[in-house]
Structure 1
């Protein structure tokens, strides 16, 4: 699973500003009092109070409101803060300058993984759900696939704008904005830069009114400053713990912990566990995705188990390893090591079902047999092991 970091709108706005993309001023607030102070500081006749969450549909859910005074901004912030939008609780808002909007457009650049190229999309119809527009009126969305070696050239930007129906005057204003957004995309190692809407004001200015940016976390070694953009407060504590250990872990809502080596095997294991649980009374489901990767050693395995066993929802754990680069004896040593850590901390182990196959599988099984670990069962096949793990969580 590829690691990506979605930014809040205010963080995307800051990146836009740093690369010369025209934006409006905005100030983040976590309380009504701060929102009032922000509106006073901005000093514009109208401000917009916008929920800062990492999902769409804010406007329809009441997460975007206009205010005509600092006092009203405080009122609106009070209404928005604490709101739940698509499962996300609003903990902060951005108070931004109001804009006199004449027209709304859409523009984005993203990674086209199937073609291994970049994809730019443009529409004269912004401020709408782009997926819906693409489905209902595909002609209204201009798409251009281009090579990273060529980049966003003047010719490409102009051709897209003319095809979308912009006149010469607007094209001249849009091209430099498109190129600056492309600079954000490349220099920040993003996998998505989206502006919806990109607006034209009544005075003819082009402004990025709302921004969405997704960064490639695998490129973080080039951007130490990106660490400050990660919202650890919104990250599940177990995911944060796993992240610090260098583990590829995603928390789910089930009761069967899952550890495997290789994303494909782990995804298959999740499916098999879910299927095995369908016939049981409580219908146990996978509690997580955890890929220890190829070549994992005993320490990685022990860390993975420590994270999963820290989840109070987990009732059983299924370790499914096919040894290739990862040797099964190292996995077995990691399990033994994890049990020792649990014992030293006075934590009682949970039922553990282990299926080892491939490189050094027999040696791994022998290590586990000799260790006589409590609540540990070894099962030969993947289906049978998944069934047993589901039964133990039932």
Structure 2
């Protein structure tokens, strides 16, 4: 669950992280009126979407006067902003954030994520923050330094070589870490975390991702969750106990487990394929739920083939997944897409028999490399 910039800043400010003065606006007139409540000589107008990369895509504009703010807001509102993080469909700009523009001396990148090995927060930092940070980081991995924040971690020694030799800045970074842990975030990014010409430290931009699975412990975020609109396929999948994210590829994937789903997509990309989705069949999903997830894939016009990678165990057995696939194919009205299946674990043999007996157009593989290579070939032949 992603928070927009202004909501991210509101949350950080509650923990003592300094942010520029700003106001949210949903119309050009509101944007102009907001200027009267911001003590500054120059403004910046920012499109509010749940994705980064806005500056390079025209979603961040400076304005010298309230009338210029109105004009920039009018240009942004209602348009679709396409950035590297939105995908080709982009996101519609329904609101803008009018903020005081500051004179910056230095720009840094600060982010927090969970260290998968220790479970402690991990700080990622760079002395080269700003609009072009992501491009620099892709070109040079050494741009970013990391520190796992165990109880004995020396934050001061870590920040010094990066140029953040300030007690105030360090206190803000510790406060941001508190916000990260106490609100059960999966990501907190401040870019840039900046020093102004007069020596103040401030979070110029911020992006927060909350763990939706921890939402029951944070009722204060319920209204934010309700505001976030999922795409129709995502919403239907959620109702069917399936975590689903549509992507731009042509190989549909049916997978149980988030980690297995990510690994499957990585293997597809490494083999030259393009996944059409991420899927994680929850342990609570029934065969009818799984059928709905497969029907969503079959209904996507760009999908050319289906890759099934299931490891049965716990509450999700292979035959349950196979029953769902077979049911979806029995109701499919269009072309029956080829299925490449690798099933292992609980009731794997039974599941494969179900697919064959129900006349699903399936090819079976015992190991994933062969399955991935075959489905990539099939998708390529169907283009």
1:1-394 equivalent positions in 2, closer than 5 A: 5-42=1-38, 44-81=40-77, 82=79, 83-86=81-84, 87=88, 88-89=90-91, 91=93, 92-114=95-117, 116-122=119-125, 126-127=129-130, 129-130=132-133, 132=136, 143-147=146-150, 150=151, 156-165=154-163, 170-171=166-167, 173-230=168-225, 235-263=230-258, 266=261, 285-292=274-281, 297-325=286-314, 326-338=316-328, 342=331, 347-348=333-334, 350-351=336-337, 353=339, 355=341, 357-358=343-344, 359-368=346-355, 371=358, 376-381=360-365, 383=370, 386=375, 390=379, 393-394=382-383
Call closer, same or farther: CA 1:366–1:95 in 2, change over 3 Å. Answer: same
Could you report, residue by residue, the CA deviation over 1:43-100 in whole angstroms, capped at 9, with x for unpaired residues?
6432211133444443344332222222110112233442433343451321112334
Question: CA separation in 2, counterparts of 1:121 and 1:32?
Answer: 37
- Please, what TM-score do these two structures have when normalized by structure 2? 0.76
Question: CA separation in 2, counterparts of 1:176 and 1:306?
Answer: 51
Deviation at 1:186, TM superposition (A): 1.0
Question: CA separation in 1, counterparts of 2:116 and 2:43?
Answer: 39
Call closer, same or farther: CA 1:224–1:354 in 2, change over 3 Å. Answer: farther
| Secondary structure of 1:379 counterpart | strand
| Secondary structure of 2:193 counterpart | strand
Question: CA separation in 1, counterparts of 2:192 and 2:207?
Answer: 10
Question: CA separation in 1, counterparts of 2:270 and 2:55?
Answer: 38
Call closer, same or farther: CA 1:332–1:392 in 2, change over 3 Å. Answer: farther
- Please, what TM-score do these two structures have when normalized by structure 1? 0.75
Could you report, residue by residue, the CA deviation over 1:238-257 in whole angstroms, capped at 9, with x for unpaired residues?
12322343312222223342
Q: Which has the larger radius of gyration?
A: 1
Contact 1:232 1:240 in 2 (8 A): no
| Secondary structure of 1:333 counterpart | helix
Question: CA separation in 1, counterparts of 2:275 and 2:123?
Answer: 37
Call closer, same or farther: CA 1:312–1:23 in 2, change over 3 Å. Answer: same
The number of equivalent residue pairs is 368
Structure 2 stretches lacking a partner, 5+ long: none
Deviation at 1:339, TM superposition (A): 5.3
Deviation at 1:185, TM superposition (A): 1.1
Question: CA separation in 2, counterparts of 1:329 and 1:44?
Answer: 64
Call closer, same or farther: CA 1:100–1:317 in 2, change over 3 Å. Answer: closer
Query: Does 316-325 or 203-212 show the bigger shift?
Result: 316-325
Contact 1:144 1:160 in 2 (8 A): yes
